[in-house]
Amino acid sequence: MISVIILTKNEEEVIKDCVESMKGFAQKIVVIDSNSTDKTVDIAENLKAEVYKNKFIDFSKQRNFAFSKVSFDWILYIDADERLTDEFKKEVKGVLDNFREENGIGGFFIKRKTFFFGKNWGLSDKMQRLFYKKNFIGWEGVVHETPKIKGSFSEIKSPILHLTHRNLYQMLEKTNEWSEYEAKLRFDSKHPKMSWWRFLRIMLTGFFKSYLLEKGYKNGTAGIIESIYQSFSMFITYAKLWEKQNRH
């Protein structure tokens, strides 16, 4: 049996579709909410999800708190802007039905197909999200949290959908939130003092990574907007770092 965990904060636009994509798959859906001020909790409860409110400190603590609320053998962590596909659910069911503890597998990478502005970007990544409860140790890290397990990781090949960067308003809110944690991490690690040329370097790096390496140029105007936005997002993070350095 499998429990699905969803971390939320002000996700009223996407939580319904996320929960509904679990139909016929999850025996238990647990939502850990970071004190949303919109209708996220009401929507999740109406869809029969089990909702817990927990003050957000960092991502590892939030995910570990969620782990304490599940009891089934298997745990899948999903974000509110992600959707399970029929192919993914079928493959996972087959893998779990044939699972043997003696194989030494403690978890699985899952593949995400990325959508920007509702469009398939032709990008995918892999995340450690599916775990065998007996072999799961916990999460570590503040922003880029990492799971610790006993045993090794295998991989689910069928993708889920990641509907990130849906609109500019949502993107700006997320950037403002995440940049606080990113800037603090860099400040705490004694990042070299920011100067004008460092800003130019990180902004150009953000743009060219998105536009060239991730092939944003194939997506026309949306690709240009996304690449400029990635540059802007890097600027905000490092500007906050500069601010912390000067206050210190």
The pLDDT of residue 122 is: 85
In 3D, which of 95, 72, 49, 68 has the Cα closest to residue 1? 72
* C-alpha 3, offset from chain centre: 17
Run of H or E including 237: helix 220-247
Same-domain pairing of 72 and 159: yes
Same-domain pairing of 131 and 220: no
Q: Report the half-sphere exposure of 248 (CA within 13 A, side-chain side).
A: 13
Same-domain pairing of 211 and 193: yes
Same-domain pairing of 221 and 101: no
The pLDDT of residue 62 is: 94
* C-alpha 13, offset from chain centre: 16
Same-domain pairing of 58 and 145: yes
Same-domain pairing of 134 and 237: no
Same-domain pairing of 92 and 104: yes
Residue that terminates a domain, selected from 104, 137, 164:
164
Same-domain pairing of 160 and 173: no
Same-domain pairing of 239 and 141: no
Q: Which amino acid makes up residue 170?
A: Q
Residue that terminates a domain, selected from 164, 196, 223:
164
The pLDDT of residue 209 is: 95
Residue 91 near residue 76, CB atoms below 8 Å: no
Q: What's 15's domain CATH number?
A: 3.90.550.10
Domain membership of residue 203 as a residue range: 168-247
Same-domain pairing of 201 and 152: no
Residue that terminates a domain, selected from 149, 164, 179:
164
Alpha-helical runs (H) found in 68-113 = 86-97
Same-domain pairing of 155 and 227: no
pLDDT in tens, the chain (248 residues): 899 999 999 999 999 999 999 989 999 999 999 999 999 999 999 999 999 999 988 889 999 999 999 989 999 999 999 999 999 999 999 999 999 998 899 999 999 999 998 888 888 899 999 999 999 999 998 777 899 999 999 999 999 999 998 899 989 988 998 899 899 989 999 999 999 999 999 999 999 999 999 989 989 999 999 999 999 999 999 999 999 999 97
Please, is 134 exposed, middle or buried when counting C-beta atoms within 10 Å of its C-beta (0-12, 13-18, 19+)?
A: exposed
Same-domain pairing of 107 and 11: yes
pTM for the model stands at 0.88
